[in-house]
Structures are given as C-alpha cells and as structure tokens.
Structure 1
C-alpha cells in the first residue's frame, strides 16, 4: 500500500468510516440541511495552545475529524488529559505534561503537519521538542524553514538527528524581531504560540491575518497573553510569566461551508449550511454570486442554491486573507465546468494545487492547466513564482470514473464531481476527506446522495 493510501486508511479508521472507498451514482441534486462546526484550521491549533496553560481548557464545537484525533493522540502522549465532556466539547488538562516516546509521536506525525506547532509550547514546558517527518496534504512545497528560523530567533537550538529535528532552549526563550518573507499561516501560529511565554517583546512583521489566526489570538488573550495586532500585518506580543486555561467556542469552518456551497451549485441543488456566517465568507460569496449561485443569509446559517439558468464564467485569483482562499478554488472549479464560457483560476498560494483537475478531465471536463501561470492585465494579485493557472471551458457534461483522492480539498472536489456526473464513479482514499470534513458521509446521505460503501 502506498503512503497516501496508508494515510487515507488510517484517517478512515480514526473517524469510524466503514470503508476507504465509496461508489457514487451521480446526477442527483443535493438538497437539505447540514451543519458545520469548528474550523479544522483553528480547533487543532487551539488544542495545542492548551499546552501553554497551568489549568484546564475547554474548547467547544470541536469537529469529529481525523486531524483532531491526531492532535488528541499527541497531547495524550505528552501527558495531557483530553476528555470529551459533551457533544463537540473537549476539556484539556496539561498539569502532568511529560516527555513523549518518539515512537508514539512518529506514528502520528505522518498524518498531519500539526506536530511542528508543538515546538514552542514544549520548549516552554519541557525545555526540548522533537519533530519527526511531517505529513499533511501533498499540494506543494510547504517547507518548515520559516518555523525553524523563527524558533532560532527566540533562542532555540536546532539539531538534526536520525529521529528528526531536535530543539532545545538551554537559556530559555526570549522575545524576537521576526519578519516573515511570506504571510504563512503556520509560521504566524508558531510565533504566537512561542512568543506569549517568551521573555520580552516580540515584533512579528509579515504576519498572516486569517480569521483562524484572529480566533487563536482571542484564545491566547483569554489565557492571559498580551497581543496587539497593528496595521500592515504587524503583531506585537509581550511575553508573560504564565497562562491559564481558556473557555472558547471555535470559529466555524469556512472552508467546509464553501465546499458544500459549491456542491449545491455544481449539482443544481439547494443546501442550508447551519453554522456558516457571512463575514468570514464575503469574498467567496461575491464570486458565488458572479457565477450565478444564490444565497440567503440567516441568523443560524446560510442557504446556498442553484436558482436555475446558465452559470456564468469568472476569473478568480487566490491569495492569502483577505483574498480568495486557495482552499475555495478546488470545489468551485467543479461548478465552473458547468458554466457557459471561459473561466480562469489563478492559483498563487500553492504550486501543485491544480493537480486534482486531471481526474476532472478524465470525467469529461475541458480544463487546461498552465504550469507557469498566465499573464493578465486585470490581475490584482502580484504574479508569484511557481504559480499556476487553470482555464476551464464549459459547460461540459461529466461522466462517472474511477478516482483516487490526492489531498483534502481536491478530494472533496472529486466527490462533488462524482455527484455531478452522469453514471457511476468509484472514489477511493476517502479517508483523506475525513481529515477535515466532519461526518461527510452522513451529510451526503442527509442531502439525498445516491452512494454505497465498498469494503
């Protein structure tokens, strides 16, 4: 079994999926009501933040996804007691933090990139941290150099060993001046989680300002941190002597909400996404409306539907927040295969995030990926090295096919394509989708999808 299939199978088992493969009979609109809970990109980081406290933390709206299971396992390996105290509610007690056995961490790390964020908290609590080989989605070059450079600036000593990368802080951690060359979400989280207990003041320039980052800052402030967010992506963190546990409800998962919205559009359906909120989806909603999708915003969620008539082509440029998220373009591209005319998606964040389109082409889509991107006089996002562009000509009917899921968002996009297509599709490695989409099989059933498992 190849590593991708191994990770998918492990993720499927963690979340209770009956199989790592699903057979879908497409061509049926998705209709109904589903809910989204806390964001994968916040909940897992909030769990790591609990390591910094001297009292228990309570996190609500935690999604039942594989990545949460991975972080739970890692926290427990380090002596943190993780208790499910309610539906989607976790209590995390870090009073007995201890060094973990390498084998336990290594067994979990292959399924996620979260372990790198344990470094700062572990250096504060234990004086050392070990990073094994990291997993995560294979969507491009996501080096940990930004993380290691930041940790060195705080005073950490980085050594490579046969086990991975070992970090120590023989003289403790101190404030630092850090200027990120790119507003990396992970590196920004690393700085925040390390700086809050470091001695002195940290100035972070070039910070990511995604909603999940702001929610993490809110959590750290609840714990006792002093963090000032300034204009122009600058964040100041004043180190404090100790932090206490937090009580927090996680921000909703805007990526999952946008994915279901695209599924409604592609299948000609009507989906109410309970828990979705307008503010964090504004750029997505603008594009959704331009394409021809309809939405209605309520207090408890957002209804997304295809109002009938032809869909319209659009030009989309992905970017860091507050731009159009890279995670949104993959599900949207499936809907764009049904739009009348030429759509263009400029992917400027990851250089391999358009690889999933090869399966769509096999299913009948007319898509050309330009590996070196495309010039355009109307570009708002500066052209970046390694960017790609996809040109989608529609509408094209999709037909069933055998599809192997390559990554999280691309995988959900393959599900949407199979649901949109005429005929039967076999989709394998669906465990990867369980990394970030809670109970997605149950939700498909709720929405009236026609599918069966294959053991």
Structure 2
C-alpha cells in the first residue's frame, strides 16, 4: 500500500472557482510532434502533471532542448540536436507511461531508428499496441522485439500506405499522423479516431507544414512532405478535467466555476448533465469557462453509454457514476471502450453505493465485449447515502472518482495512491482547497 495518502473530511459541497489548462490527451502528443520540426516549437497552457514530466524527460534524453517560456505553463522545444538515447536511460521510463510508442514516427524520420521501452499506463483493459505496430509495418518499418522493449528501424524510410483501423483507436490514429506527415507519398487512414484532441493535433501539424485532409466517415488523408517547421500553439482545454469537477459539483451538491472549460468539446457531456438534473452556465468571454452546479431537488437516473467521439467519452464515465449514486431510480451504464473500467465500483459499494455489474450489454450501442466475459455494464440504484471509507486508487480516472466519493461521503476517508491522480490533474490538492474541501496529507 502506498504512503501517498490524502485524508478527506467529506459531506460538504464544493463551491468556488478553479482553472483547467491544456488537455492532457493533447499536450503530451504536441510535445512529441515538436521532434518533427527543423526549428523550435512553442506550446502554451501546459499543465504541471506527471505525464508532461515524463515526455519532457524523454525528449531531453533524445537531445531536444526543452525550456520554460515567459508565460506560466509555456514550454519551448528546440530539436536542433536530436540524437539516439541510451537504452538504459529510456528504460527508466518503462512502465510509467504509454506515450513513448508515439516517438516511433518522429525518431524514424530524424534518426532512422527508435527504441520503445515496455509500456505502462492505467490498468483499465486491453490497449494493445498491435494497431500501432501494424500501421508502422505497412509504412515500411521493421520491428524487432527485445527483452527490454521494441527496436524499430526503417531501412528505406517510411512510405505512404492505405490502412484501416479495426477500431477507431485514438493512440493508433496519432501514431499514423505523426509517422505519415513526413513519409514518402500519400497515406489514407480509414476508421480513424476524430476526437477533439486529434483535430487539435492535426491543427498543430498543419501549422508545421503538413498537408492533412479530414474526410467524412472517419477517413484521414495525409500527403507526406520533405520537411516541417516548428509550431506555436495554445491547446484546447482539458475536457476530462472539466467534466470531473462538474461531476464533483453535482455529487456534493455544490457550485463550481471551471475557468477554461469550453462548450464545443463538451456538448455530449452537457446533454447528459442536464438529463441527470445538473445545471450549467456558459461564459464565452476570452477568459471564460463553465459554471456547474446542483440546482436542488432530486437527481434523475439515466442511461449512460460510452463511445468514441462524438459519443459520451469513456473518461467522463467514472466521475459521473459517483453523481449517479445520488440519483433516484436505476441508472444503467454501458462501457463500450475499455472492458475493465468498472472495477472502481467495488470501492463505491464499500462506501454505501448500490452498484451491480454485468457481463451483458445493457444498452444499444455496438460493443466489442458482449460475448467476451467482461463485466462492462452496471446498474446503479439510488439515491444512496455515502459513508466514509478508506480506498486505494487503482488508476487515474478511477482515482478522481474515489476522491469525489470521499468528498460526498459523510465522515473522514483516507485515499491511498493519490500520486496516480497527479498524472492527469494539475495541482488538484490546491484546487480542492480553493473549493472549500477539507483535505490534508496523511
């Protein structure tokens, strides 16, 4: 059991204002994209989270000079002296992040070689890199598996190809984009992911000189170019963090203004938020955001089915389920993206929630898991009175959900493993304090 503990005195509504910075799921990929340029890149609104530290370390190992800019959260990347990194030093990062796999394309273009350590990340179900490797092989890469990781070369450079993803994987789509922008010829990617973070990465690559066409029906066409320049970019805000604080406001009966949150990337979430009984108000000014609050009265049970964009984001599911424990009636959750994402509900049940998980598909959204013996659906009976309980965080998003539950519960909980939350939530303890939460380090 980890010693990184947060003591949470729950039962009080969260009230106040916090700010979200650039999206975790975009910023780290934008940092990798800087490797492709032949001049420096500048990225604003970078959150101070563990994933950013990991990618910064990997870039510096490969000779990229990373420096802090004048503005808080600004990073500058100078790729003038990219070099092969020491395998042992790279392996220091093995198991700490899944981002290293996205270094393949840029390093193959720059050096003709890439070494990728064993990958980690949250244990929420199968996220195989098979799609990544198959796409690279189709483009001419040679992948050799070694005891410590993957050794990848491209003897004749990367070539444009036609490739269809079996599933619209965000990571594999990013892999193809980062590899194809400087490949010889045209790459056509079918069944691509089209999440807002993907579109923002495409915007960055276009600023660098890439030629990328996004067609209908999840088709992306990339015309390879000989060189790319650096970029200057301010990323989209983190819609996952914004939704997490919105769910916390609802679960605790609070009122939270999330500066930086934007309606465009959160429309599907806002629809469900309204159906449950939450209220929000959008401020479209340049320094605006979204105010989320519990308007009083009973929350209503809903059907929640996750899906790839533009569906309800899988990362929104866990925080929202905590709020659904306070809704009257039977809410149904059908997780279609990650097969093991409902394991966190055991801790909620220990706190007084009534959640039953099922192997069957409890919803109409097409799903890969219905006949594969995974508990990927849930029924939540509410409202339930949550009581304090000690919990151990298993992964990033489950961790924030456990934290929300502890904040909503009566009594004092000890939350173990909060370092996992720091992977994706900047300075969350200070934000909790700003919202009036009674928390302290254990």
**Secondary structure, aligned partner of 2:299:** coil
Q: Which residue of 1 aligns with 2:175?
A: 190
Distance 1:162 1:175 in 2: 30
Distance 1:108 1:159 in 2: 20
The answer to whether the 8 A contact 1:109-1:134 is kept is yes
Tell me whether 1:374 sits opposite 2:358 in the alignment: no
Q: Which residue of 2 aligns with 1:348?
A: 336
Q: Which residue of 2 aligns with 1:126?
A: 111
Give 1:375 deviation, angstroms.
4.2
Distance 1:117 1:261 in 2: 31
Q: Which residue of 1 aligns with 2:435?
A: 447
Distance 1:401 1:163 in 2: 40
Q: Which residue of 2 aligns with 1:45?
A: 29
Tell me whether 1:412 sits opposite 2:400 in the alignment: yes
Q: Which residue of 2 aligns with 1:328?
A: 316
Further displaced range: 301-310 or 163-172: 163-172
Distance 2:207 2:293 in 1: 38
Distance 1:62 1:373 in 2: 40
**Secondary structure, aligned partner of 2:93:** helix
Q: Kindly tell me the number of residue pairs found equivalent between the two proteins.
A: 434
Distance 1:108 1:28 in 2: 39
Distance 2:155 2:250 in 1: 55
Q: Which residue of 2 aligns with 1:164?
A: 149
TM-score, with normalisation over the residues of structure 2? 0.97
- Give the counterpart of 1:111 among 84, 96, 116: 96
Give 1:105 deviation, angstroms.
1.2
Give 1:384 deviation, angstroms.
2.3
Distance 1:64 1:42 in 2: 14
The answer to whether the 8 A contact 1:346-1:373 is kept is no
- Give the counterpart of 1:66 among 32, 50, 65: 50
What is the RMSD of the two structures over their aligned residues, measured on CA atoms?
Answer: 0.9
**Secondary structure, aligned partner of 1:79:** coil
**Secondary structure, aligned partner of 1:109:** coil
The answer to whether the 8 A contact 2:252-2:407 is kept is yes
- Give the counterpart of 1:316 among 304, 313, 333: 304
Q: Which residue of 2 aligns with 1:15?
A: none
TM-score, with normalisation over the residues of structure 1? 0.94
The answer to whether the 8 A contact 1:293-1:304 is kept is yes
Q: Which residues of structure 1 form unaligned runs of 5+?
A: 6-18
Give 1:374 deviation, angstroms.
3.0
The answer to whether the 8 A contact 1:295-1:302 is kept is yes
Alignment of 1:267-346 (within 5 A): 267-299=252-284, 300-346=288-334
Give 1:104 deviation, angstroms.
1.5
The answer to whether the 8 A contact 1:314-1:344 is kept is yes
**Secondary structure, aligned partner of 1:393:** strand
Alignment of 1:201-220 (within 5 A): 201-220=186-205
Distance 1:373 1:212 in 2: 31
Q: Which residues of structure 2 form unaligned runs of 5+?
A: none
**Secondary structure, aligned partner of 1:296:** strand
The answer to whether the 8 A contact 2:173-2:192 is kept is yes
Give 1:373 deviation, angstroms.
2.6
